[in-house]
């Protein structure tokens, strides 16, 4: 729904080719709006047809040959229009939380390993974000960078939350498994479900 606007933003920050965009989506923008190269190429085609962007004249239209895009005035207007409206954040869809809920019914086999795995992943992501903050946002500068830093701090806050929650969850599950070994077990209970 907002992929075109993500691309317009990225292209306004810096005109790029499809592959360069894909790379940037893997790094900065993709942290909060991911997209595959397929989506990006398809959307670039649509945006070009809509007259929002155009290929830089240097490149001929041939397959396998780099094609750089820049945003046209109509594209900037469209992004401005979109940014003036409301952005509804859709509800969470988190498979790990779903699995916890499932584990309450069919048993907790392997749950602690999975929690530990996620803990590692989120710690790594948090470290990456903090590295970016240290590198790119030393002293708060112009308004543009202060807004971008705000976005980064959302990422840091989210990862911090997950790391803390996962630690709490791990402690709880460990406690449950220990209790199941001594005491009697209820239905669907026990570490080897």
Partner DNA sequence: ACGTTTTTTGCAACTTGTTGCATAAGGCTC
Partner DNA sequence: GAGCCTTATGCAACAAGTTGCAAAAAACGT
- Establish if 95 lies at the interface with DNA (CB under 7 A): no
The footprint of a second copy on residues 115-144 (CB under 8 A) is 117-118, 142-144
**Dihedral angle over CA of 24, 71, 64, 62, nearest 10:** 180
As a whole number of angstroms, the distance between CA 16 and CA 22 comes to: 10
Q: Determine which residue in the list 58, 65, 87, 89 makes contact with DNA, applying CB under 7 A.
A: 65
Q: How far apart are CA 73 and CA 51, in angstroms?
A: 9
Minimum distance from CB of 184 to DNA (Å)? 38
Q: What's the min distance (Å) between Cβ of 62 and a second copy?
A: 31
Contact partner, 9, from a second copy, DNA, none, Cβ < 5-8 Å per class: a second copy
| Residue 158: CB atoms within 10 Å | 16
Residue bearing tokens 């047809």: 49
Interacting residue with a second copy among 49, 60, 62, 88 (CB under 8 A): 88
- Choose from DNA, a second copy, none: what does 73 bind? Cβ within 5-8 Å by kind: none
- Binders of DNA among 14-53, rule CB under 7 A? 17-20, 34-39, 41-42, 44-45
Shortest distance in whole angstroms from residue 90 CB to DNA: 6
Residue 182 interacts with which of a second copy, DNA, none, CB < 5 to 8 Å by class: none
67 in contact with DNA (CB under 7 A): yes
Pick between residue 43 and residue 159 the one whose CB is nearest to DNA.
43
Residues contacting a second copy: total by CB under 8 A: 77
Q: Do the beta carbons of residue 15 and residue 69 sit within 8 Å?
A: yes
Taking CA atoms, 72 is separated from 22, 54, 56, 59, 186, in Å, by 20, 7, 11, 17, 65
Tokens of 190: 């026990």
Residue 157 as a binder of a second copy (CB under 8 A): the answer is yes
Interatomic CA distance for residues 48 and 88, integer angstroms: 26
Cα–Cα dist 113/32, whole Å = 27
Number of residues engaging DNA in binding (CB under 7 A)? 26
Of residues 74 through 93, those in contact with DNA by CB under 7 A are 90, 93
């Amino acid at each position: 729904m907002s992929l075109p606007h993500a691309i317009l933003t990225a292209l306004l920050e810096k005109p790029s080719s499809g592959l360069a965009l894909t790379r940037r989506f893997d790094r900065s923008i993709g942290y909060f709006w991911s997209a595959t190269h397929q989506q990006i190429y398809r959307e670039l085609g649509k945006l070009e047809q809509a007259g929002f962007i155009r290929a830089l004249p240097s490149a001929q239209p041939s397959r396998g040959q780099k094609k750089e895009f820049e945003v046209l005035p109509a594209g900037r207007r469209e992004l401005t229009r979109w940014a003036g409206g409301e952005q509804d954040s859709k509800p969470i869809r988190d498979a790990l939380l779903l699995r916890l809920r499932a584990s309450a019914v069919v048993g907790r086999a392997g749950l602690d390993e999975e929690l530990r795995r996620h803990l590692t992943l989120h710690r790594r992501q948090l470290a990456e974000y903090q590295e970016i903050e240290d590198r790119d946002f030393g002293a708060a500068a112009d308004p543009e960078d202060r807004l971008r830093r705000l976005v980064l701090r959302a990422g840091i806050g989210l990862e911090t939350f997950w790391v803390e929650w996962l630690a709490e969850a791990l402690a709880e599950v460990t406690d449950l498994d220990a209790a199941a070994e001594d005491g009697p077990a209820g239905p669907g209970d026990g570490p080897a479900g």
